[in-house]
Structure formats: C-alpha cells, structure tokens
Amino acid sequence: MKLTPFVCAFISGQIMLSVSWACTTMVITPGASADGSMYITHSNDGYTGDTSVVYVPAADHKKGEMRLVYPSACAREAYPDFNCDYTPRLNVKGRGPDYSFEGVPITDPIGEIPQVEHTYAYLDSNYGIVNEHGLMLGECTDNSRRIRYLRPDAGTGLFYSSELGRVALERCTKAREAVELMGSLIDEYGLWGTAETLLVGDKEEAYVLEMMPNPSGKGGFWVAQKVPDGEFLIAANQFRIRLLDENNPDQIFSDHLIDDLRTIGWLVKDKKSGKVDWLKSIQTIEHLHPYYSLRRVWRAMDLVAPSKKFQPWVEGYDTTAYPFSVKPDRKLLLDDIMALHRDYYQDTEFDFARKETGGLFDFPYCFSSYNKERVISTTAISYIWINQFNDRMPAPVSWLALTSPADSVYVPLPVAPISELYSRVDRKNYNGDKFYWVVSAVGTLTRAYYSILSPLVKETSKALEKKSQELVAESLHLSKDEFNKVLLDNARDNFKEWQRLYHRLVLKMDYDNVKYAKRHRPANTAPTSYKQVN
Amino acid sequence: MNISHLGKIFTFLAASVIFTNEALSGTLVLATKGATEDNSVFLAYSVDKKADPNLRYVEAKDHDVEALREIYFDSDPKQAFLGTIPEAAHTFAYLDSEYGLINEKGLMAAVSEAYTQRNVKTKYSSYYKAIFCPKELIKVALERCVTALDAATLITRLIDEYGLYGKPVSVVFADRNEAYLVEMMPTPSGRGGFYAVRRVPDGEVFVTADQFRIQDLKKEDPDFIISSRVETTLREAGYTVLAPRGNINWLRSVKGVEKKPYYSMRRVWRVLSLVAPSQELPAWVSGYEDKTYPFSIRPDKPLALTDIMEIMRDTYTGTSFDNATKATGGLFASPYTYEDYGERSISTGKTTYTFIGQLNENLITPVIWVSLGASGESAFVPLTVDAVPDTFSGVSREEYDESKMWWISNNISHLTRGYYSALSDLVRMAILEQEQRSITLIKHSESLPLERFKNVIRNNVNVSYNRTRKLFERVLEVHDGGYMLKYAEGHLPNFTPVDHYHKPAPKAPAEKKTVQSKPLVTSGIPFMNAVSQKQEKNDEDLLREEFFRRFSKDMNEAEKNQSPKN
C-alpha cells in the first residue's frame, strides 16, 4: 500500500483541473506531406501554461561538468519546494539569457547527470521544440489508471518528459539516436510525473516514445515505435502503441520491459495474439471522460483519410478502431496541417457553434463543462507549433501560433534568439510588446463575436501564412544565418500586422455591423403594441 | 449669396438626404437645483447613435457691429450656405460635440429627438425659407445667452423669424437656477416652426426620451410660455387638438408618437420610478398620448451625481424588461442588444457619448462629465469649458488610435459586452472608483482660483486616460483566454454530454427554452446585471462531484491492482 503520495497529489491537483493534461500532437512523415518535409506538431493546451518561447544557445562544457535536471510545473502543478512555478518556468544559469530573471527565486534542481562536451542550440517552451540540427519534438500527457501522477520527491525518478526531451535536443541530431538516449536515461534515472508521449523526428524518421513512471522510482516503462514513412499519426492524451513485438524492427523497448511489467502486476496480453498490449498494460484511459482523446484521434484521421470511413463511436478506451498511423488519402500541405490543429469539429454532429453553446454569434467552443466534447483548437491552448524540416531547407523552422490557432496566426520561427517578441512573457501581466498579448487581444475579442469577427481573422491569418510560406520558399538558397534573419524580420512584420488586425476588429465592432448569427437570432422581446404582455 | 455659396448648395443637395435621415436618439435627464443633495443642477443626455465622438472648444469672440453670422446647412460650414443673421457684439466660449453642450457662463443645453405623425417635411428642401436646424439654434444660444430663459426666448424668436427645418427635437436649457424645455418641429411650409416651452419646476426631475413630453398648454400656469403665433399656425394647419379646458393639447396636436411602443415611455417610466419609487408608476400605458407619467417629479430623496450616473447607465436591471435575462442576453447575460432587439434601455451599445453637465454655487466654473461609448463600461470624466485635451479630440471613427479615450473605452466595452457576467463587475468597480476619485478631487479643489482648478481637471483627464488603459490590460489579464470562465446563471447552454462510449440514442429535439426573467430583484448590488434564475448546480460543482466519484473509484481499482492477492 504505497498510496499516500499520490493521494495527496491528487487532492491538491484537482483544484487546477484545467491545467495541462491536454495536448494534441501529430507526425506527418515526409512521404505523407506534399513537400516531402517531416512535420512534428504539438499544441500546449492549458490555461496556466507559460506562453514564452525561449532560445537556448549552444554551449561547450568542461570535462566533469554536470547537467542539472529541473522540475517542470507543466507536469501538473507548481513545486514551491523547488521554487518551480508555471511562469517563469525556469530561472536558472546555463540555459541562455531568457531563462534568467531578477526578483524571482532560482529554481532548484531535482538532480543531475553528467554533461556532454557540446550542447546544441534549441527552441524551448514548456517542452522542448526543435534544435538547430532539425531534431524535432512533440508531446502529450497521458492518463494511466495504474498511477495517475507521482510528485518529484525523494524516491521518485529524476526525469519528466519535459527535461528528458531537452536533453535529447541538447545532444542528438537523429530521431533514433534521441529515442535510444531517452530510453537509456529513463532506465538509469527513472521518471516522475504522469504517463507521457514524446514525438521525436528528424527530417527522415519519426518515433513515438511512450513512457510511464515506475512507482519504485527506479527506471521506468517505455516503448518507442517508428511512424512508417508515408503515414500520419496523431496522439491526444492517450498512448497509441498497442501490441509489443520484439521482432518488429519499428519498435524499440528494453529487453527487461516485459519482465518489469509482469513483476509490478500490470502485464496485460492480447487474448487473440498473446502479445503484450502496451496500452492496456499501462491502462492509459482517456482523461476526464470518454472521447476526450479518441474524438480528436477520430477527427484528425477522418480528415486526412476520409476513404477509411473511421467512425466516431467506439466500444471503449482500448478500441482498435483507429490504427497507430494512417496513410492520408492525398499528401498533406502545410495548410492542411495548420487546419487540423484549427479544427473544432465544424460541420460534424459535435460542432458547438450550431447548438445552444454557439450563443448569439456561433461560438465554436464550450467553456467549463466536465463532460463536453473536447475540440482540437480549444480555448485553453497556450501555443501550438508545427516543426518543419527537409533536405532543401538551410535550417529547421517551427511554425508557431500563440493561443487557439483558429483565432491566431502561424509564424515560422528560426532556431535563433527571438526574445523581443516571444520570450519573457507573463500571461498575468500585460506587455503590449509581446506577440502573445496582441494575439490575446485579437482572440478574446473574436471569440466574443465569432460570426462577426472570425472571418476577418481567418482571412488575415491565411494571407499572412501564405506570405510566410512564399518567403520560406524564396529563401531556401540562403545560408542558415541569412535564412534565420529573414524569418525574424518576417515575425516582426506579422506582429505588426496582427496589431493592425486588432484595430480593424475594433472598427468592425461598430454597432451597425454587429448582427446576430443567423441560426442564433434570439427572440425579440421589444413590445409591438401598448398592451401589457406580462 | 456669392458663387461659392451656390456651389455649396449643389453639393449639399446630394448629401442632404443622408444627413437628415440620421436619427438622434437618446435619453435626457434633468435634476433641478432643489432636487439634488448639493444644490447642483444636473443636465444629462446620451447620444445613442453613430456620432462624431470628438469634443471641440469654441473660443469666445468679439465681433464688429456690422458683422453677420453665417448659417450653413446642418450647422456645417462645409455644407450649403443658407443665410445670415446679425452677429452679437461678443460671443461666449463653449464646448461643442454633435450638439453644443455648455458655455463658459454656465448655460447648458441638452437634446433628445422626437417623432411626429404629422406630415411635416423633415428633409431640407431648397424651396424652404427655413435656415435653422436645432443644432444651429443651440449654438447661437450658447454663444449669446447666460440664462435658460434667455436661451429659450432667443431660439423661439429665431424660429419665428427664420424658420425651422429638421427632425422634431426636444431641447432643455439649464442655468444655475432654472431650466426650460423647448419642444420643436418644422411647419409644413417651412415658415416659422411649431414649438412649446415649459419651465421645469425647481425641486423636480424631468426626463425625455425621444418623445415630446409637454401635453396641455396650460394658459393659467406661469411655467408655460405660449406663443400665439404657434397657436395660429397649428390651427391653420388643422392640427389643433383641444384639451377639456380649452387649452391646446400639444402632444396630440403634433401627433408626437413614439418611434415604436414603449421606445420612449419605458425609459420615462424607469427614470421616474428610480427617482420616486414611492409613486409606484405603472410600466404599462394606453398609448403614446397617455398622461400617466407626470411632466416632472419630485424625487423621494435628493439626488447625488452618482445617482444621475447610475440612471444614465440603467439597463432595467431587476425588472422584467432587462434584456440580459432574455435570450438576447446570450451566454453571458449581456444587457446590450444588437439590431435594436428587445426593450430600448437607457444605456445602449450604440451610445457615442453621455454628458452630465453640473452647475452649482460652489463651482468656480461649470463642469461637464463625459463618458465615451456605452456608459456602463466607460467612466464619466469631468471637463471644464476649456481647450479639449488631446485624449478627447482629434478622434476618427474610421481609424483606431489608442492615444484616444474613445478607442480605449471601446476596447473595454466590446470585451465586457462579449463576456458580460464574467467581466462587468470588474469593469464597473474600476469605473466607479475612478469617478469617486474625480468627485473627491473636485470637492477638494473648489476653492482654487480658476486657472488652477482647470489645471486640476486637465491632470485628472490624463490620470483617467491612463487608468482606462490599465483597465483594458487588466481585463485581458483577468479573462486570460477564458480561464475559469463561466456562463451566466440561467444562460447555461444545453450540450450533449459524453459520459459513455456508446452513441447516445437520438432524441427528439428539445423545445428551445426561452429564458424568462424572474420578478423584480431590488436588493443586492445595483449593477449586478446578470440576475436570472439560479441553475441547479454550476459546472464547477458538477466537475468536482464527478472527480470525487471517479477518484474514489480509481482508488478502489488502484488498491485492487496494487495489492497482490494473498
């Protein structure tokens, strides 16, 4: 009976129900994308998320130096005993100028591992994004019924997926290399936190790495599986890997995994094949309620491969109705990928806009109800990225949109210093110089009058994204540094354009322009005669 | 008339229809000296239409003896030249907006439109001899007059002599002691004009809301100024409707209807009921000419400036006419409607500005409180008759400029209206606090010499602007993308719950419920607009319950899984 730590954690955690626990992450392999790029995406869905995007510079290290490992509030909650809060997510030495704050206590490490001679530069957020050599990450938190959550305390493991991914970005250039490194770090140092998924890709290969802490604090459970080239994968707060097969060259897991699962009493085998069912062994049920995860999985798969006629209703969390990955009916454009993350089940039976939830202006979201449909472009999104890399590009790019992408714009960011617009952001303290606050102003106003304002927002983001895509295409011949500079200038232009958009939206709110959405016209209670009506 | 004037007539003919079609619409409230706590006269009105949000300061001037004052269409020198009148030797400085507001001598003017079913031409025609529109009349009065009686006398004389064109309008002039209402509309011929003038008795509160308020022209009552010329013109036009005692009934003679039923009378009822609840005035009447509501009313207790502000911000909260409690309230119980839906409340989303002029013996100079945009979300900021601060002038409705109070107020207002139940209390508290600060500041500065007093007012405008900016930022911070956002009580939308893996059986579509308002809620915070029926359990309760249920289930399962059978 070792229940006490997570009982406490659970009770304290439930106050912050709308925190994290909610991300959507995708892989579009080169063979599945129209331009042959590898795309790895991740939306960070939590209202409390630190929205800063931070450039961590490359560094050389002395022999014998240690790499400190820090806790991450995005795992679940703030850890006051480590001076670890949501914003700023880190205040430490050695991670570049934008993780260094005055007047904020220094974050304490949980532990350390030996450092390497040289670490690569990368873009970071609550989770690592992409490094200068094009190693790209995606992430989602999963929900195991075995153990929901382990606090980073004495006796637990050292790593949560956030720091684990960062170590990979610091040290690796290839996806397989990164998966193997992270697997060995899990084996050696253990995990805390929750069940987790990391997507790991380079320009050729992508893997899904799924992991689960061991309550003993020693080691952890992990499996990686390659996404076949030509296919599309989505994970949405639930494991996607099912049957384990040591003869499957696409799967990577340790030779002691199955024994470990058996020892702890979690091993579940598929009745038909006799193979270990990884998802059922860890029991990664859906978070909050049925279809919290599977609806998003269905939606994305149905959008990319309508010919497969995937059905939205299944028999349980452990359904096999949706395969690990799927070959899209036609190769996906970057625009298609952006649209996937912008989706709110429009034109389906799950569309909030057409129901009472639509309010007076076709609002496509739904606030604060426990058992509601969970759309992809939720209002809780802090930011979303689409990492892109291919052979023709001088450097990788991360298309980043702040807040719900449906009401925001994707801007291609280089792995380069981007602090003026993107770093040192505090969502509780307005700062008009930061992209986040302009996006917040646009999004907040737009969501209030969706049918009136969102067409203008969508039109503007579409035009800006088209321009950015053309710019990237025209700049392929440039050197890495020149390319990155072009992207930075473009980000500044986008910032200004988004400010102008806000001005246009306010102008559009002139009384005469504001009409109720057609399907939501309320009853008009204006008297039509002098007769008393109530 | 010279050549350039002819050219102007040409251009104006094309434009005139558009211009004069623009409805004014607004609510006008007057509290006389004897009706207020501090013996102030308060003259308040809102311009609830798309108007130019700028304020302008018109300087005092001396003029030659022979000088003529030029009169242009719609009081706009860019439009057609219509004629001249002799200029005064000296004209006073005043503040101008859509209409002239207040002059340096403490004469205030306020306007509300009216409707008529008589076939008078409200569009200007070149066949007309009339050269005066109400806008121009008010300016001339502010340029030349010190007292309300002088102003009422002057403009009626000008109407007689030069003719009136434009829509029917009510104008109230007030000075430190007295207030006069002038209701006016053009004649079918364009010669002269119809008007009725009545003094508002001291100690009383008067309201007009886009409808004439004068009923019988009582010859025996010295508060009336009755023009025999107007009596004749009414008779000649065949309009005269007589009241029992042989007096003319002005309202019925000019058929001063409402725009639509209760468009005006509801607001009249509301204002009179708010200031004199003891009168228990009914909200329902027999028709536009109903005499249920007195011309003016003695308030149950003397009014303060903050009461006037509250009245001008009213959206029928706590009554069955509150649009917030109906389907028009949307998900967040907003009291504002669009497309002119629902009851016409006092505060509206259309409002360009609301003014409250204040005069009393202690103030060294008249003060006018200005709220830009919807007054519910925009603080009243006091100004004096002086050069208008940059934040209140140079505004274009076509170009966003965050250095202007207009745009910052709009920012706040649009956001608040969009998530009303979630944001309105925060915004209202900040606004009330800011107004309290201004009130206190004025009280402490009363004994200052004029220039220093004006300086205090100027500084306070800057402070108000900065605080308003901060408030917008605060609203964004608090809203935080919708974090912990809840729908208004009584406005929780139905949604299909996902509790099970099986597809829910198709149900017959439920009858869409119209949210009905509860009976009067008179207690509680006056500006809690989101008053409606309490829902059974709110989302958070449900969420919490569900979590505890699941949690205990999980614990049982976890126990089962973790304790090997022995």
Q: Which residues of A touch B327 (CB under 8 A)?
A: 522-523
Distance from CA of B544 to the nearest CA of A (A): 8
B23 Cβ under 8 Å from any chain A Cβ = no
Residues 6+ apart with CB under 8 A from B36: B42, B302, B303, B304
CA pair distance A378, B127, nearest whole angstrom: 63
For residue B3, the model assigns a pLDDT of 44
A57-97: pLDDT as tens digits? 999 999 999 999 999 999 999 999 999 999 999 999 999 99
Which helix (H) or strand (E) segment holds residue B355: the answer is strand B353-359
B125 Cβ under 8 Å from any chain A Cβ = no
Residue A469, pLDDT > 90, answer yes
Residues 6+ apart with CB under 8 A from B127: B190
CA pair distance B371, A517, nearest whole angstrom: 30
For residue A1, the model assigns a pLDDT of 34
What is the mean pLDDT of the segment spanning A34-48?
Answer: 95
Residue A269, pLDDT > 60, answer yes
Please state the φ and ψ torsions of residue A384, each to the nearest 5 degrees.
Answer: -145, 140
What are the structure tokens assigned to A112, written together?
Answer: 């350390």
Residue A2, pLDDT > 70, answer no
What is the mean pLDDT of the segment spanning A132-136?
Answer: 98
Residue A10, pLDDT > 60, answer no
Please give the DSSP secondary-structure letter assigned to residue A91: -
Asked whether the beta carbons of residue A522 and residue B557 sit closer than 8 angstroms, the reply is no
What is the mean pLDDT of the segment spanning A145-174?
Answer: 94
CA pair distance B419, B406, nearest whole angstrom: 20
What beta strand segments (E) does A12-125 contain?
A: 23-28, 38-45, 54-56, 59-60, 66-69, 111-114, 118-119, 122-124
CA pair distance A313, A288, nearest whole angstrom: 17
Buried b (16+ CB within 10 A) or exposed e, B290-313: eeebbbbbbbeebbbbebbbbbbb
A427 Cβ under 8 Å from any chain B Cβ = yes
Buried b (16+ CB within 10 A) or exposed e, B475-497: bbeebebbbebbbbbbbbbebee
ipTM of the complex as predicted: 0.93
B128 and B190 Cβ atoms separated by less than 8 Å:
yes
Q: What is the pTM of this model?
A: 0.90
* Residue appearing with tokens 């206190």: B440
Please give the DSSP secondary-structure letter assigned to residue A105: P
Q: Which residues of A touch B495 (CB under 8 A)?
A: 352, 355-357, 366, 369, 372-373
Asked whether the beta carbons of residue A316 and residue B419 sit closer than 8 angstroms, the reply is no
Residue of A nearest to B397 (CA): A507
B510 and A469 Cβ atoms separated by less than 8 Å:
no
CB pairs under 8 A between A and B: 222
For residue A365, the model assigns a pLDDT of 92
| CB interface of B with A, residues 458-477, below 8 Å | 473-474, 476-477
A405 Cβ under 8 Å from any chain B Cβ = no
Half-sphere exposure of B251 (CA within 13 A, CB side): 18
For residue A368, the model assigns a pLDDT of 66
With cut-offs at 50, 70 and 90, classify the pLDDT of residue A240.
Answer: very high
Please give the single-letter amino acid code of residue A119. Answer: T
For residue B125, the model assigns a pLDDT of 66
Residue A106, pLDDT > 70, answer yes
* Residue appearing with tokens 């630190």: A50
A526 Cβ under 8 Å from any chain B Cβ = yes
Distance from CA of B14 to the nearest CA of A (A): 23
What is the mean pLDDT of the segment spanning A394-407?
Answer: 97
Distance from CA of B267 to the nearest CA of A (A): 13
A430 Cβ under 8 Å from any chain B Cβ = yes
For residue A427, the model assigns a pLDDT of 93
Dihedral sign of CA atoms A109, A111, A116, A117 in order: positive
Please state the φ and ψ torsions of residue A453, each to the nearest 5 degrees.
Answer: -100, -30
What beta strand segments (E) does A390-492 contain?
A: 397-402, 411-414
CA pair distance A414, B364, nearest whole angstrom: 63
Residue A458, pLDDT > 60, answer yes
CA pair distance B431, B436, nearest whole angstrom: 9
B314 and B346 Cβ atoms separated by less than 8 Å:
yes
B132 and B141 Cβ atoms separated by less than 8 Å:
no
What are the structure tokens assigned to B101, written together?
Answer: 């507001």
B327 Cβ under 8 Å from any chain A Cβ = yes
Dihedral sign of CA atoms B289, B290, B291, B294 in order: negative
Which helix (H) or strand (E) segment holds residue B173: the answer is strand B169-174
Of the candidates B185, B314, B318, B287, the residue with the CA atom closest to the CA atom of residue B239: B185
Please report the DSSP string for B248-308 in residue order: BBHHHHTT---SSTTTTHHHHHHHHHHH-GGG---S--SSTT---S-SEE--SS-B-HHHH
A152-163: pLDDT as tens digits? 987 889 999 999
What are the structure tokens assigned to B138, written together?
Answer: 């008010």
- Which residues, given as ranges, of chain B have pLDDT below 50? 1-22, 514-538, 548, 551-552, 554-556, 558-566
For residue A523, the model assigns a pLDDT of 95
